[in-house]
Structure 1
């Protein structure tokens, strides 16, 4: 039987014309985007020629192509616009618990976790919009057999605080599976149980906090597609709970994620959205949001706005009381960390190093994971400036924490340590650090 002739993909050709991309440039952009999702793509201009002639790439690549165009155009791109068949879409804006349970169950399964972690981060994702519909809470209380009260709400909040403590002490690789299991085994059934409107709102809000924290841990472990999914579920839960604070805090977390991936305009857009959506709020939350706006502004080289936002941050933080919660809190250590990011983005490397040192001095003693990340970053900045002995001292401090942590972010710093120190001149300080690095690597391998 003769094969049916393929139909030329005129939709894809139109997108390429809109982006001013030729075959080779599109192929390279798709390969780069795919690498974020753990896909080793080796497309070239001939591959794009085949697509234009009507060949369909496999489903996961079709999604990568959509995301690649979305990043270029700064807007969502539909399957129809690419001319490819639509891959199965995730559930839309349905009740948050159903989607959250699906994500959490996959995250609990070690055999699926690596696949889930390689999910693609979308820079043009449509987000759940906060509205004032009280009907959402009543719709979320349809459970016929189980009734929840304030006891369940307190359990969720207490578990969130405990998991945040484990995160700081032992690392996200230990804490996140615990959070996913608790979300699936306890929080999910409670969200579908019956209760008063007040209890249901409080429970949705507590669940949003825990989901935000779980997303932050996934993002911190560079599982960016997964982290984004948790963040979207946290937005839904916060919206359903009418919890402006958690909704805005989650948007700010998404701004940090975009910044860590180098999407400056998106980082600023999300940070501004968080600040605009915030209700009349306390000074600590205002500082929290303005600090992220400063980082985003620096990424797009808006110096004036960046320093204006830092001034807002400093003023608001000075007015904050002594209570700083464990989930997404903001303090002097976080402020100096933001200042360091701003200065680094604007080309002031010595100033960025000084602010990281101030951040470390202000950091609470029990924040081991945060301190390890800050020291890893500081050592890399010191190496970049050519301050080898200072960097070696910082790397040794980093290793003090890293040896007892389980953290992908820590592993990234450790690899940077191994690479940069190996390339340095042979001095006693460097040799000592190299030997300690080998010892830590052996210890980690044996653990």
Structure 2
């Protein structure tokens, strides 16, 4: 820690505005630390030091600023809170230049750590201006001889997430973006080819965001999602743009920011009008989920019903961005029904999702089994829950996934009241504490 000149009056004023004690700020900083994979143990004495002028180490200034932003309801920078922002990102710049800087920072071991410690920023979870789609650029993202290598990369990394989890091959995708994709975006191209490259770069940025999200590094995941939507917007492809907004909505929802999640889901749904059926399904089910979590039962069921009817017309076009598996639809249906209090319906949908999961989708199958176990236990069906969790553990051992680790911790916690039962004890013995 470094000593600043004099007390931090800015931080004290913000604490007063927030109506927070020193302990409350410390607690919120610790919670935000968990969002970036850091286990922090700050208390009121640490905040007292900050108020006296002590400069905390990175990433605490960013975490404290984000905590105050969420509490007060407006964006607050580390500087506004009286801290030095050693990881400042500067003003917004054009998508390609900003994306280039992000990829190169991520590929540089010396600059990667502060990037990965960036918190999720609610103020950044806003609906951007939709792209204007030029008629010339309709039906972007098709495989051609010029784009074959990029399409192969999209398929490889999408398959890798499903088969091995988001923590596998993450640095490989980061290096590929920095070394191969970024130079293409800066080269001279025809307008059509440039638009194609922007869409494919957006897809790869989207996949890296998914990897970071699965690794529970939500701040850097948010940055890649933001650049994915900006690149898609720059291309003029409204469908590609809507797909990214849908994922941004899901991330905001899982972190508990429902107003942001709903706005993003509605914008994605609007942007996907006229898109191919798989894309409409993908964005429609997320809107139904957020509506259900927001308590809008009638609209949630209406949106879900339209998605289910559209699924009857869907055809599997093969590519990771051109299809929406029925197993994913059933999984989202289960979340809608669970949020609306229909436990029996949610269990039925999860059962169908588990049955229809592709054998290659190891991550999806494992997480479905984990969720199935949780709901079965809520329904009082312990033996069936243990069977579902056994299937989850079989898959989890082959995954490098933060989501799977979270599901494991949730399973252990849920089973603690039943730890003396033989079947439960056997299951828990497969997951010794600390693994």
TM-score, normalized by length of structure 2? 0.85
Please tell me whether the aligned partners of residues 295 and 338 of structure 1 are also in contact (alpha carbons under 8 angstroms): yes
Per-residue Cα deviation, 1:246-288 (whole angstroms, up to 9, x for no partner)? 1111111111111222222221122122223345323322222
Match of 1:223 among 214, 217, 224: 217
Q: Distance in 2 between matches of 1:396 and 1:38?
A: 26
Cα distance in structure 2, aligned partners of 1:328 and 1:344: 28
The runs of 5 or more residues in structure 1 that have no matched partner are 138-148
Give the drift of 1:219: 0.8
Aligned-CA RMSD value: 3.3
C-alpha distance 23-365 of structure 1, shift in aligned 2 (>3 A): same
Match of 1:161 among 155, 160, 164: 155
Structure 1 equivalent of residue 6 of structure 2: 6
User: Deviation of residue 37 (structure 1)?
Assistant: 2.9
Which residue of structure 2 aligns with residue 288 of structure 1? 282
Q: 1:178 to 1:43 in 2, by over 3 A?
A: closer
Q: Which moved more, 1:377-386 or 1:238-247?
A: 377-386
- Report how many residues are paired: 425
Structure 1 SS opposite 2:59: helix
Partner residue of 1:198 out of 183, 192, 202: 192
Aligned CA distance change for structure 1 residues 431 and 7 (closer, same or farther; 3 Å): closer
1:226 is displaced (CA, Å) by 1.6
Secondary structure of the corresponding residue to residue 286 of structure 2: helix
The alignment partner of 1:195 has SS state of coil
In the TM superposition, what are the counterparts of 1:213-252 in structure 2 within 5 Å? 213-252=207-246
Moved more, 262-271 or 67-76: 67-76
Residues 4 and 206 from structure 1, CA distance in 2 versus in 1: closer, same or farther, beyond 3 angstroms? Answer: closer
Match of 1:144?
none
Q: Identify the residue that residue 19 of structure 1 maps to in structure 2.
A: 18
Cα contact 1:150–1:199 (8 A) shared by 2 = no
Mapped partners of 2:236, 2:130: distance in 1: 8
1:51/1:416 Cα in 2 relative to 1: closer, same or farther (>3 Å)?
closer
Deviations 1:155-179 (Å, cap 9, x if unpaired)? 1112101221222222222242332
SS in 2 for 1:151: coil
Whole-Å Cα distance in 2 between the matches of residues 352 and 216 of structure 1?
A: 25
Q: Do the aligned partners of 1:91 and 1:99 also contact (CA within 8 Å) in 2? A: no
CA distance in 1, matches of 2:57, 2:231: 33
* Distance (whole Å) between structure 1 residues aligned to residue 79 and residue 116 of structure 2: 27
| TM-score (structure 1 length as normaliser) | 0.83
CA distance in structure 2 between the aligned counterparts of 1:376 and 1:356, rounded to whole angstroms: 10
- Deviation sequence 1:165-221 (CA, Å, 0-9, x none): 222222222242332222122111111111211111111111111111111121122
